Amino acid sequence: MNKIFVCQIEDLDEGEALKVDCNVDGINAIAVFNFNGEFFAMNDKCSHGNASMSEGYLEDDGTVECPLHASRFCLKTGVPQCVPATDAIRTFPVSIENGSLYVEL
């Protein structure tokens, strides 16, 4: 398992997302979100097309909407909540150590 440093937690504001290039295990980048003070991470590429999820729209229900196709995905599970996407986006565990945010791939 690879642990990737993302940022200091105070550098990722509430309601914001960050794209982190990683090139690990076939994953080019991950999207990390701060939703209501909780941090979530998923593959940055939409399962339906070539769109960056870090450029998506965080919704009040804990989903992120793809910026190209309007499919919404659960931040916790990556499961699509509506069409056109039908495949989940891979999600990853997030940890905080001494104020630093990490994603485990």
**Tens-digit pLDDT profile for residues 25-57:** 889 999 999 999 999 999 999 999 889 999 999
pLDDT exceeds cutoff 90 at 24: no
User: How are strands ordered across the β-sheet holding 100-104?
Assistant: 3-8, 100-104, 94-97
Decide if 21 contacts 28 (C-beta within 8 A): yes
Domain with 99, as residue range(s), is 3-104
Phi, psi of 74 (to 5 degrees): -65, 130
pLDDT at position 50: 87
Q: What is the mean pLDDT of residues 9-28?
A: 94
Q: What CATH number has the domain bearing residue 33?
A: 2.102.10.10
Indicate whether this model's pTM tops 0.85.
yes
Indicate the number of domains in the chain. Answer: 1
Band (pLDDT 50/70/90 cuts) for residue 59 is very high
Angstrom distance (rounded) from CA 69 to CA 35:
21
